[in-house]
Amino acid sequence: MLIGIDFDNTLIHYGLVFRELAVERGLVPPSIPADKEAVRAHVWERFDDLEWQKLQAAVYGPGIGRGVFMEGAPEFLRLCRSRGIDLCIVSHKSEHAAIDPGGVNLRKAALGWMEEQGFFVPVHDGGFGFARSDVFFEARRAEKVARINRLGCAVFVDDLREVLDHPDLNGSVRRILYRECLDATHDYALAGPWPSISEYLFVGGRE
């Protein structure tokens, strides 16, 4: 079985990064929650979308090193490896931010974060056992969906409904919506955090 996983806001958590960089830029007060949506709402209300785009470029580029794993994600990856389950990462990510076309290469920045976290270290050496060829970046959402289909993912985990609901996504793909808390209002196999995803797939015997 091949399990496909999104990257941004699914494996990596940017909440603290958004708050820290926004505070440093004077866009939000230090009291704002370490939450991307809260920061975005404040920036949109007090400033404009241009400032939000600049902040995003900073977070996903030079600021990515401050990002951390989503809670339960490392344990999920290790559990998959212990069961011999293949994994891949499919991300909708351009090479450069539209607001900063000559800036940091966002794909290289993401790969750098993965390298720092041990993604490309063999499992027997304490890493997560990914090959570079297990990681895919696509410039458009439709291309991401096409990649998921070509890879033959049995399961795909994403934080965006737009991906899981895409009309071209193969009907055989089991769709799991990543959420930091369990969500009962959905049409997917599951909507919840990584510990719940692990329980659903492995404790329930659905792998």
Question: What string of pLDDT tens digits covers the 207 residues of the chain?
Answer: 999 999 999 999 999 999 999 999 999 999 999 999 999 999 999 998 999 999 999 999 999 999 999 999 999 999 999 999 999 999 999 999 999 888 999 999 999 999 999 999 999 999 999 999 999 999 999 999 999 999 999 999 999 999 999 999 999 999 999 999 988 878 899 999 999 999 999 986 566
Which residues 6+ apart lie within 8 Å of 45 measured at CB? none
For helices 15-24 and 36-46, what crossing angle results, to 10°?
30
Which homologous superfamily does the CATH classification assign to the domain defined by 2-13+68-203? HAD superfamily/HAD-like (3.40.50.1000)
pLDDT at 204: 65
Taking each helix axis as running N to C, give the angle between helix 36-46 and helix 49-60, from 0 to 180 degrees, rounded to the nearest 10: 150
Q: How far is CA 36 from CA 10, 14, 159, 177, in A?
A: 13, 7, 13, 17
**Domain residues of the chain, as ranges?**
2-13+68-203, 15-66
User: What confidence score (pLDDT) does residue 47 get?
Assistant: 93
The pLDDT score that the predictor gives to residue 109 is 98
Distances (CA, A) of 144 to 92, 124, 155: 6, 31, 14
Spatial distance between the Cα atoms of 136 and 202, rounded to a whole number of angstroms: 25
DSSP per residue, 73-134: HHHHHHHHHHTT-EEEEEEE--SS-TT-TTS--HHHHHHHHHHHHTTTS-GGGTS----GGG
**Residue 150 has what pLDDT?**
99
